[in-house]
Amino acid sequence: MPTVVERIDVGIYQSSWIGIVKIEEVFDARDQIERLADADHCEKFIIIINGTQAKSIPMDLRMLTQTINKGTIANLVLDAPFAGMLMGRMVNKIMPMQTEFFTDWDKLLERAHALFQGTPS
């Protein structure tokens, strides 16, 4: 399974991208995150995309923009491959979606909690 979704905390959900990730798997991860957020009664939430084990990611910008959850406050990306960083920056240019990139889990998690709580950084 190239995407694994888990609850890190209420309102903070992680999608780990593993191996060769297909766009259908990203849509499935989106749906799983929405179900977790609904179960937690969260209208707004943070998504962590863990790219540590990703070998290949979908490169269709149009399709990737359709995977964005309506309740997402921000996408925080850990260890994105170079292509992933480029795609994230392109999405930022065409959609009002905050995407930030990290190489340190602790800093990412601190940022996720701050954003979820509405704390400016």
Structure token pair of residue 21:
């990730």
Q: How far apart are CA 119 and CA 98, in angstroms?
A: 15
Q: Is 82 within the bounds of a domain?
A: yes
Q: Is 73 within the bounds of a domain?
A: yes
> CB pairs under 8 A, 24+ apart, for 5-9?
5/29, 5/32, 5/33, 5/36, 7/36, 7/40, 8/48, 8/109, 8/112, 9/112, 9/113, 9/116
CATH of the domain at 80: 3.30.750.24
Q: Is 13 within the bounds of a domain?
A: yes
Give the structural domain span for 76.
3-116
For the full predicted model, state whether its pTM sits above 0.85: yes
* Matching residue, tokens 């009002």: 96
Q: Is the pLDDT of residue 95 over 80?
A: no
Q: Is 121 within the bounds of a domain?
A: no
Q: Which of 50-54, 75-79, 97-101, 113-117 has the lowest mean pLDDT?
A: 97-101
Our count of domains for the chain comes to 1
Q: Which of 17-26, 39-48, 49-58, 90-99 has the lowest mean pLDDT?
A: 90-99
pLDDT at position 1: 61
